[in-house]
Amino acid sequence: MKAVRSMNRRSFIKASSLVAAGAAVGVIRASASFDGLIDGMKREAKTAPVKLVPLTPGLSVLENTGGNITIFHSPTATLLVDSGIAEQRSQIFAALRDAKVAPVKDVVNTHWHFDHTSGNSSFHEGGARLTAHENTLKHLLVPTTVTPWKYTFEPIPRAGRPTNLLRGNGEIDMADEHAAIYFVEHAHTDGDLVVHFEQADVISTGDVFWNGHYPFIDNEAGGSIDGMIKATQFALARSSSKTVFVPGHGPVASKANLQEYLEMLGTVRDAVARLKARGLPMEEVIAAKLTARFDSKYGDYAVAPDDFVRLVFQGV
């Protein structure tokens, strides 16, 4: 296999436009207070198409109804970052067959949420090792309620449980690529992993980064707005001007996209914190429309502006 090369500007723009053009794949629009979000995603996943977007000779992104799946493939083995939604198994496997990639030997879960882990069982049954932070397994072993989503997730089947557990950072070496795995604390959840494919200069962020969308923050599972900001700063510090970012949701991104996202997180966080410190109740803070300047860019996906402010308020 040829050494994996960093993407040049022309190929990055081409790949980014392809992902953006495929943004209609698995789109979940913002609805008040996440009403019907999970059931809607599961219904959609059964029939929705997926889109495979090449990034470098050895790296691709599979856009689907759930979180983006990053694919590193060598002649002998394939590594996935996240496994998608179980209900979309047939489309995901068909895309991998069409791409003629080698068997999946490793799956890294960036966190515990179902749209990044419920596809685990199918890959493990095919021989893949499942890697995650130990806090991710903690949530997958028991019925876990995400109160804002009004949904309780049942324990994941035994075949879908990660067995290669990290307490901190880790790494996986495959062919000409080194995947450095970093634990970022109390960000989207309490078990977030960021994966840096160092030779390709591609960083897969999981749900620490939602490109062009307000992110969900799972405060109940140890997430926090401050942790999201720190994790975003960490990813930026690991990057170069040419780094390509694969977000948990949204199109492939540049460093400039991540910097804009960080500015949004920090601006909203500080504005919410100021009003909360003055004693304003949450509903009055929401009514102040503190996200207004960002809503046209970030407010049309799964997390509506008011719900994002609510999540920030609960975490500061």
Nearest to 48 by CA among 72, 69, 24, 71: 24
Residue 89: enclosing H or E segment and its boundaries? helix 89-98
Q: Mean pLDDT for each consecutive 10-residue tract of the chain (316 residues)?
A: 32 37 46 80 94 94 95 95 97 95 97 98 96 98 96 97 98 94 98 97 98 98 98 97 97 98 98 98 98 96 95 97
Tokens of 187: 């960000």
9-255 is a CATH 3.60.15.10 domain:
yes
Residues 6+ apart with CB under 8 A from 183: 133, 166, 167, 168, 169, 191, 192, 193
Looking at residue 28, what is its pLDDT? 59
Reduced to 3 states (helix: H, G, I; strand: E, B; else coil), residue 181 is strand
Unique residue bearing structure tokens 């059931």 = 39
Looking at residue 72, what is its pLDDT? 97
Tokens of 199: 């030779």
Report the predicted TM-score, pTM, of the whole model to 2 decimal places: 0.90
Residues 6+ apart with CB under 8 A from 119: 66, 83, 84, 85, 86, 88, 89, 92
Enter the DSSP assignment of 210: E
Looking at residue 175, what is its pLDDT? 85
Looking at residue 31, what is its pLDDT? 54
Residue 207: enclosing H or E segment and its boundaries? strand 202-210
Q: What are phi and psi of 193, to 5 degrees?
A: -120, 140
Looking at residue 245, what is its pLDDT? 98
Looking at residue 11, what is its pLDDT? 37
Handedness of CA 135, 136, 142, 146 (dihedral sign): positive
Say how far apart CA 232 and CA 165 lie, in whole Å: 23
* Domain definitions of the chain by residue range: 9-255
Looking at residue 23, what is its pLDDT? 40
**What are the distances in angstroms from CA 36 to CA 43, 66, 310?**
11, 15, 18
CA 147 from centre of chain: 20
Q: CA angle, corner 277, sides to 272 and 279, nearest 5?
A: 105
Evaluate whether 217 touches 225 at the Cβ level (below 8 Å).
yes
Nearest to 133 by CA among 192, 67, 186: 192
Q: Cβ atoms within 10 A of the Cβ of 129, count? A: 16
Please provide the distance, in angstroms rounded to a whole number, between the alpha carbons at the two ends of the chain: 48
Nearest to 294 by CA among 276, 268, 269, 314: 268
Evaluate whether 101 touches 73 at the Cβ level (below 8 Å).
yes
Evaluate whether 181 touches 108 at the Cβ level (below 8 Å).
yes
CA 84 from centre of chain: 10
Count of positions (residues) in the chain? 316
Nearest to 172 by CA among 205, 195, 153, 200: 195
Looking at residue 17, what is its pLDDT? 38
